[in-house]
Structures are given as C-alpha cells and as structure tokens.
A = this chain, B = another copy of it.
Amino acid sequence: MPLRAVGILSPGDMGHTVGRVLGEHGLRVIACIQGRSERTRLLAESANITAVPTYRQLVVEAGLILSILVPAQAMAAAENVAEALGETKTELVYADCNAIAPQTVRRIDKIITAAGGNFVDASIIGPPPKNDGSTRFYASGGNLDIFQQLSCFGLDIRPLGTQVGLASAIKMCYASLTKGLTALCTELLTAAEILGVSDALAAEFKLSQSALYERMERGLPTMPPKSRRWIGEMNEISATFEYVGLTPKILAGAAEMYRLVGDTHMADLSPEELEAFPALGEMISNLAEHLKKQDM
C-alpha cells in the first residue's frame, strides 16, 4: 500500500526538519499543531507542512504518524491519537520516534494497538536531517513495511528486528554516551572553575586529552538551549539502565546537570540565536556564578 501522507507530531526543531525532507521528496506532510507554541506553528509553515485542525483529521488523512516530541509528551500524544483512532476506525501506522525507555515504548505500543493502530518503535540518531548522511532512523516492530517506505523520501531507515523496544534501546545507549559525557564534562569544568584550577586543568587536558577537550570546546557551548528538554531524556535512560539491573545514578546525575543549566539564562537562547553562543570558558563561568548565587 503506497503511503498517502505522513503526519508529524510535532513539527518542532527535529519534527519540522523531518517534515521538510519528506515534503521535498514529494510526500504530503501534515500536522496538528493544536496546543503547540507559535514558534512550532512558524516552523511548520516554513517547512511547508499543512496544518490540520484536529487529531481526528490527522489520523484520517495520514497513513503514518511520526511522534517526535520531548519524552514527557510521548504518552499523552499516543493517547490522543488512540482516542481519534477509536472514533474513526481508520487504518494507521503510528511510529513513536521519541527518546524513551524500551519499557515505556512497550506501554505506548499497547495503547496504539488496543485502539486498532499498527505500532512501530523508532528512534532518531543524529541532528535534524539537514544534510545527507547525518541522521539514522532506527525502527523495530512486527510490521515495518510502511515505515520503511520513508527511505524512498529522503530518510535513512535502519530496521533492527521485529521486537518493539530495540529501536528505543539503541537510542538510550547512544544518547547516554553523547549527552552523558556532555553532562559529565559540564560538571567537572564547573567544579574546576569553583576550585580555582580551570587554567591548569585546561592545560593538562590539551596535553593528555586533546580530543576530548576539543569535543568540549565544540560541543558544550551549544548545549544550554537544549538542556531543558534533555532532562526528560536523561531520566528515560536512567530508567532503562535500572530496568536491566544497572545503576540509574550516572544518568540521574546527568539529568540534574541539565536541570542546573536549564535554570540559567543561557537556556533561554533559541537555536536561531546560534551566533550568540558563549565560548566554553564564558559558559562555565556563568554556571559557576549561578551556583555560587544559589548557595547564598
């Protein structure tokens, strides 16, 4: 069955870029932006995504829905879609692409399947797919045929098997490295700043950990605007690790670091304000100042 249209929930930073790529490759892309921010409405418009007024219309018109949200919204979005599915008795594939724990995604699978939908566990590794080869869409589940058609419309689709949870699992493990390391680096540089050894530590890193230090200089300053939405993702990874018998603490600590960064004015920058990002030293001294104020 050919794919008639794809619905995006919701066209934020990642979602609208995915929608634009699909649209540029000839697929009709729609979104229900009811209750979303003005910025999301503008992003959808800029990506030529057609707005539909209700979830009901979304499930009727779209053969496939991609849920691309912050983790905390994944369950509510699935419930909204399930309700609309129950009312319309339509045929639909629902792909949850969010950074959530395998055990959470299995609950969402049940919600969608009980409402008569077909469920795909999906996850996105890489930045919003503005450039070829930057981003992989992993997928697992009982029937991936419809979802795999997205590879004809500009996305790199990588099936992982029939078991719901595999696509989420690879995302959890991958993001624990990239975002866990960023949290750790943010913490240790802030500690060094407060303890008065910033310059000596930077010199030592340049000498003996130059690759990791370059990663910090490149990666840390662009993190604050993303810090608030990473809190939920760190908690999902923490829950994933605890579920398999490993310590939840490393990633719970990473969540706390992103909460701290999210409390500063640096988190108010939007990705459109890229040129305003501070240098690493400035970012860390902002954080150290913020911490000292909290102590008073």
Min CB distance, A291 to chain B, in Å?
5
Q: A247-B256, A248-B253, A291-B245 are in contact. Are A184 and B173 (CB under 8 A)?
A: no
Distance in angstroms between the alpha carbons of A253 and B161 in the assembled complex: 31
- B188 x A173 contact (CB < 8 A): yes
Query: Of A4-12, A13-21, A53-61, A203-211, which stretch is located at the interface?
Result: A203-211
Min CB distance, A33 to chain B, in Å?
31
Query: Of A79-87, A192-200, A262-270, which stretch is located at the interface?
Result: A192-200
| Residue interface mask A245-262, B partner, CB < 8 A = 1 | 111111111101100100
Q: A173-B191, A177-B184, A209-B178 are in contact. Are A291 and B244 (CB under 8 A)?
A: yes
Min CB distance, A219 to chain B, in Å?
12
Q: A177-B209, A291-B246 are in contact. Are A172 and B196 (CB under 8 A)?
A: no
- B170 x A201 contact (CB < 8 A): yes
Distance in angstroms between the alpha carbons of A74 and B184 in the assembled complex: 26
Distance in angstroms between the alpha carbons of A241 and B172 in the assembled complex: 26
Q: A197-B169, A209-B178 are in contact. Are A187 and B241 (CB under 8 A)?
A: yes
Q: A102-B195, A177-B209 are in contact. Are A200 and B170 (CB under 8 A)?
A: yes
- A247 x B253 contact (CB < 8 A): yes
- A294 x B245 contact (CB < 8 A): yes
| Residue interface mask A167-183, B partner, CB < 8 A = 1 | 00110111011101101
| Residue interface mask A150-172, B partner, CB < 8 A = 1 | 00000000101101011001101
Chain B's closest residue to A195 (CB) is: B169
Taking CB atoms, residues of chain B closer than 8 Å to A176 are: 184, 187-188, 191
- A247 x B257 contact (CB < 8 A): yes
Given contacts A173-B188, A187-B246, A245-B295, 12 further A-B contacts (CB under 8 A): A170-B197, A170-B200, A170-B201, A173-B195, A176-B191, A177-B212, A180-B188, A184-B250, A191-B244, A195-B240, A195-B244, A251-B253
